[in-house]
Amino acid sequence: LSTELALFEHCGEVSRTPLSPDSPQIRRVPYLFDIMVLLQLFSAELVPHLMVRAPLKELVCSRGNLLRGASVEDLVGVFITERGSSYALPQLGRLTERLLCLLCQNRGRQRRELVHILEDCDTLFASLCDRGPRLRQALDYVARIRLFVVEYFLLLGFECELYSAEECDSVYFNLYQVKCELLSNHAPIPIDVPSRELHTALNDIALNLSRALFETLSALQDFNVLPKKTFELGTRKSWYTLRFGKLYGTTLPALTMSAEQERTLLQGYADYESYVSARDMLRTGNSAGLELDAPDLELEARESMRLFARLQTSRKGFLQAQKQCGVASSAASGDAVRRHVRSLLRCCVTNALNVRKLC
């Protein structure tokens, strides 16, 4: 166990600021998302045996060795710097500890139980909304945890081989929307986080890679290079809602929150309407500048030019993600993270080359 856990040695530490005069002095605690990412890599690479998973849970509970003697509430406190939000720390700590323990389970069980974590996030979010805008940081933290869970849930679907080839475009669309939501509507990573550059690069890689894969698969389906999903029972909307409904959730009532807070914290994303809209925009947005109305241009040639333009756009996303892999590799300090970045780089390079062949 000690040998396998060596990949946790590079977890950085950040400041835990006291919220009241009765709180302990400023001290250094591990950065929560460092631990969660490394737990992901640990279970993915090593597939730990039951005899390893059991003590691993003890190490990530409050005062556990992997938390370097800190409590889970201390880790959450890094994100809660306003006294008004300190009321929610115990609830946020319980949610976080449950998630950390779940990440010590096998991959299949993780995916099944992540749905319940999402439900807990929605329940806690609604409860905190009742107390108004003074809990804004707590609300932002719950939303941040929820986005992490949604992304991980979608990725585990690939590992557990739960997706058909025809629906992968919608999965990548959801992954792209999760990263857009995280990067645009939530507080940035604290300045004093040692792994700040690494997390920023990994988010950029996921954003560009998922967008490029969504654009590529959508183009190949629209031009019948790949088969489209058929629906023998129900409609495409009912299938999408059944598949992803729990992930994007529903818009909660604003209650005592201002219109601006409702827009930034409660707005839905990645729902069926936004998915259809994104597909429609791809169909109409990549033909600008192409002379498709020439009378001597055959229909087949026009279609080929449209497909070429869309694939060229998606290839730029793969190349952008490839550049970010270099940034992430230079910022990574552990072998496990470097191996993960190399796997992302192989994915970017392989897909960029395959799209170039299609062009």
Task: Judge whether residue 158 has pLDDT over 70.
Answer: yes
What is the structure's pLDDT at 230? 79
What is the structure's pLDDT at 157? 93
CA distances for 181 relative to 31, 127, 144, 226, 268, angstroms:
21, 22, 9, 29, 10
Task: Judge whether residue 11 has pLDDT over 50.
Answer: yes
As a whole number, mean pLDDT of residues 110-129 equals 90
As a whole number, mean pLDDT of residues 307-321 equals 93
Read off the pTM.
0.86
DSSP state of 149: H
In a 3-state reduction of DSSP, which class is residue 329? Answer: helix
Q: Which one is predicted more confidently, 295 or 30?
A: 30
What is the structure's pLDDT at 256? 47
Tell me which of 179-188, 220-229, 249-258, 324-333 is least confident: 249-258
What is the structure's pLDDT at 163? 92
**What are the residues whose beta carbons fall under 8 Å from the beta carbon of 81, sequence distance 6 or more?**
17, 19, 137
The beta-carbon contacts of 123-128 under 8 Å, at least 24 apart in sequence, are 124/91, 124/92, 124/95, 125/252, 126/252, 127/91, 128/88
Task: Judge whether residue 89 has pLDDT over 70.
Answer: yes
Task: Judge whether residue 52 has pLDDT over 50.
Answer: yes
Extended strands (E) in the chain: 13-16, 27-30
DSSP state of 252: P
Distance CA 26, CA 107 (A): 37
Q: Which one is predicted more confidently, 282 or 250?
A: 282
